[in-house]
Amino acid sequence: MAISRRARQRDGKIIEPMTLANMRENGVGSVVATCAKCRHEGVLDVQQWPADTLVPDVGLRLRCSACGGRDLDTRSNWLEQGQRRMW
């Protein structure tokens, strides 16, 4: 069974997810990954990942370091917004 990684509006229409390029334009260079199996959470720097990667799809390429689970939810790490200095 495929895992849906797309948010939907109340009427069922898919909300287009953010790309890493757009996330970077908003001052964020990392994602928070949470394992659905054990709830382990970590922050991953994605500055070197391709710009057209969708934020929710980063989790498709990860494995939980605590339990080995493959079902990871990823979202922008908004806590770093404004903390990163762009020299």
Contact indicator for 46, 20 with CB cutoff of 8 Å: yes
Contact indicator for 28, 78 with CB cutoff of 8 Å: yes
SS3 45: strand
In order of their start, the domains of the chain are: 20-80 (2.20.28.10)
Query: In the prediction, which pLDDT does 85 show?
Result: 52
CA distance 81 to 38: 27
pLDDT in tens, 60-85: 999 999 999 999 999 999 998 766 55
Residue 86 has pLDDT above 60, yes or no: no
